Structure 1
């Protein structure tokens, strides 16, 4: 090929250009520019090898980079740079091998073909850059920057990380926000062993944390009688309405702060962070992944005016149906609804597989920004991603503080704290399906009581 002029017919030149789009430098070698061709091939193969190695061997590490704004910008800029180089290689390759003489029509068709080829090559890169940009927007919109430095090892000296998970219902016919679903996820930072502590929305006489809240309600939260009954799910909005309850906190921060402190006192756990999902946004999230499949034991009344039923059986629910499945109390009660909500969240987490997330990424990102609020600092996300990998490989236990263990009208808060201590001290559930875990009443030997602790996977099937 040393003496090859490289000038070929229109069809051959387009074929060589297409080959150079797949393997950079092919046209250069064809015309005798071996060093340049070998260099371009080496660059492309190095990039492809590095990308394949990263995808196959560095899964969690890649995920941790994907939640860091600086690295997301690097991803976006790298994708655009590679796209620009690929276009330059294609155009230069065609210029090297195009025919010296060709009719005008062939020139126009060749130019159009090269334009289409460039568009096909850069489209994935442009899309990757767009995904990185959208991810950057989600991370920076949902997660605030920490005002204090995050240690290199944030779990050092911390046996368990406790995060308050809240489902909020800000319905159009309701003033303010009601936190109708409240669960504390307690995660062992070494093993990923996770226990979910579920608190019913209708707990009464809730002890308030020291400070202005306890000064106002020394005998437990009473709400605003006679307008409200004084339940746990009112604490969030009460703090928002009465700034003096949480001094030196801004609007939309007062509610989460007081709710965290209150539930921390109930459970006897330190709760540094919360994450709240608005139920209307939850509808968009479910629709974005194409619905969610659940097993329905009994028919669920659908709609405010009893428009219909979600029939029993294995069903694929739309976002609106999933919302009603999780919130309906017709012919049931708060405790049954709590169980359905846990099953629903578990089903969404399991069925949101990588392909479904990828296909609906933009919709999910938009829904997440609108639906999720949290005080988890942005800088902690990489460590949380690594911890989540441990959680994924562990069994999740759930302890619901509902009858007969706890009666919401007259809660035994001392017993709640004892049950939390006992549950956390128990060994993690073995990796097999179990219908329920029964625990003894530790106060009296031989006397046993159901603790409502279940393996979450088994409770929903």
Structure 2
């Protein structure tokens, strides 16, 4: 400085600083533009063409996703597409970062007096590193999410057999049980069929009690050949099929999970529904999924014991409409102390309803890695990866509709000697949406009112269900569920599951 005026070197430094900063900003806005102006034009043209192509592709994908949601679901569930996205994001992140450092190089002085510009060079280098990280980190994180999603799809959805809808419906057998070394899925605690309309997504949950006995198997099945007169006596129940099959694996050649296959054959024989796929949920790992999404809000009508039935009760899930932790939701769904199996079945359906209604795309996106980690250790299924987009699409449709339930439990069904013809009439009526006149009148209760068993229990099956559904008393709560063993539980027989919970 001389007399307050900048020297020629200082003015040059400022010019260089502004030039280098401008090149970095141009690289941020339009990758390749810095090279076109001050470097290799060939590199600049290639970079800009790639950038414009990617921008065009992103805009087209965004517009397509707005008008065609199935496109997004299809891409998000395709292992090949996810691998391509992952590699593309890594390549773009590395390429863009290289363009930033090349732009920084182009903005540096080449004169012998470059030492005079050292403060500016350090500042430009800092700006360059910040901008490179600004674009590379989100891209690499997106690549990580694509990798996690692909790993989930490959590990969880490993089925190979694709089956079409039966009579316009997909029937998914949902099994819930404890896991352990060599015993995952033995004697499932929860047995439910999700019968889903293949067009509308309208869903009916068919609950089967684990203690059902004296029933027949699907004709022509392995179990039907072994037990032509049915399964019953000597403590044989529906949830015992899995352990029997595990002890007789030689009979189930070609089946990776004999226990699941035997259970399917029993369920098909009881309900007359043909099962498309199955999904097995590890109840011990279920709490991890609930925690991953930040908890689930449930209406706890009575204190629900934690523990019991052979072990000490260590606490209670407190009453109230509350957001429960994974540990609390697990015991809400499985507790039997001071309760009965059918009240527990009703609570389990309430958990299913809450999960479906409260899991939003925003929640899934913000907790994606945690959800993926929890799901991979919690769920095993026969649904092939190629079919996941179909069921996610149906789930989005189902989210906007009421879920109906029909459970094959007392007082409508005697579990020790089930009337299989009546069972099939009940299921058919629930799928058709038929209700008794009494329940139809009572179901007009406003949604803001306290849900009653009368207003929500009419979906069982015309006259077959009227004795249990319409006689339920909404003032009676047993084991945390509206209703009783004598009158039936509202959530087990309902045309609006959410209102019954």
TM-score by length of 1: 0.85
The residue number in structure 2 matching 1:292 is 296
Distance between the aligned counterparts of 2:125 and 2:184, measured in 1?
62
The residue number in structure 1 matching 2:245 is 239
Could you tell me how far 1:166 is from its partner in structure 2? 1.2
The residue number in structure 1 matching 2:467 is 449
- Post-superposition Cα deviations, 1:42-82, rounded to whole Å, max 9, x if no partner, equal 65355335324423541321111211111111111111122
Whether 1:51 aligns to 2:58 is yes
Could you tell me how far 1:331 is from its partner in structure 2? 1.5
The residue number in structure 2 matching 1:164 is 173
Could you tell me how far 1:198 is from its partner in structure 2? 0.9
- Post-superposition Cα deviations, 1:207-246, rounded to whole Å, max 9, x if no partner, equal 23445523543443237x4xxx322122122211221453
Higher mean Cα deviation, 124-133 or 232-241?
232-241
Among 88, 93, 101, which residue is 1:91 paired with? 101
**Stretches of structure 1 lacking an aligned partner (at least 5 in a row):** none
On the 8 A contact 1:441/1:449 being kept in 2, the answer is no
Distance between the aligned counterparts of 1:176 and 1:60, measured in 2?
33
Higher mean Cα deviation, 174-183 or 338-347?
174-183
Q: What secondary structure is seen at the aligned counterpart in 2 of 1:191?
A: coil
The residue number in structure 2 matching 1:459 is 500
Among 257, 280, 285, which residue is 1:276 paired with? 280
Q: What is the aligned length?
A: 442
Distance between the aligned counterparts of 1:118 and 1:36, measured in 2?
18
Higher mean Cα deviation, 99-108 or 328-337?
99-108
User: After superposition, where does 1:139-178 map in structure 2 within 5 Å?
Assistant: 139-146=153-160, 154-155=164-165, 158-170=167-179, 177-178=186-187
The residue number in structure 1 matching 2:395 is 388
On the 8 A contact 1:299/1:311 being kept in 2, the answer is yes
Among 92, 98, 114, which residue is 1:82 paired with? 92
Could you tell me how far 1:390 is from its partner in structure 2? 3.1
Pair 1:44–1:335, CA change in 2 (3 A): same
Could you tell me how far 1:256 is from its partner in structure 2? 1.1
Pair 1:358–1:6, CA change in 2 (3 A): farther
**Stretches of structure 2 lacking an aligned partner (at least 5 in a row):** 1-11, 470-492
Could you tell me how far 1:297 is from its partner in structure 2? 0.8
Distance between the aligned counterparts of 1:175 and 1:37, measured in 2?
57
Pair 1:31–1:348, CA change in 2 (3 A): same
Q: What secondary structure is seen at the aligned counterpart in 2 of 1:294?
A: strand
The residue number in structure 1 matching 2:315 is 308
On the 8 A contact 1:267/1:417 being kept in 2, the answer is yes
The residue number in structure 1 matching 2:146 is 132
The residue number in structure 2 matching 1:187 is 196
Pair 1:439–1:196, CA change in 2 (3 A): closer
Higher mean Cα deviation, 43-52 or 236-245?
43-52
Could you tell me how far 1:203 is from its partner in structure 2? 1.2
Among 356, 376, 385, which residue is 1:378 paired with? 385
Distance between the aligned counterparts of 1:185 and 1:271, measured in 2?
10
User: After superposition, where does 1:245-264 map in structure 2 within 5 Å?
Assistant: 245-250=251-256, 253-264=257-268
Q: What secondary structure is seen at the aligned counterpart in 2 of 1:404?
A: coil
Could you tell me how far 1:189 is from its partner in structure 2? 1.2
Whether 1:61 aligns to 2:71 is yes
Whether 1:438 aligns to 2:447 is no
Q: What secondary structure is seen at the aligned counterpart in 1 of 2:495?
A: strand
Could you tell me how far 1:329 is from its partner in structure 2? 0.9
The residue number in structure 2 matching 1:214 is 224
Among 230, 235, 248, which residue is 2:236 paired with? 230
Larger Rg: 2
On the 8 A contact 1:7/1:96 being kept in 2, the answer is no
On the 8 A contact 2:285/2:374 being kept in 1, the answer is yes
TM-score by length of 2: 0.78
Distance between the aligned counterparts of 2:185 and 2:399, measured in 1?
35
On the 8 A contact 1:13/1:99 being kept in 2, the answer is no
On the 8 A contact 1:239/1:258 being kept in 2, the answer is yes
On the 8 A contact 1:6/1:31 being kept in 2, the answer is no
Pair 1:389–1:352, CA change in 2 (3 A): closer
Could you tell me how far 1:389 is from its partner in structure 2? 3.4
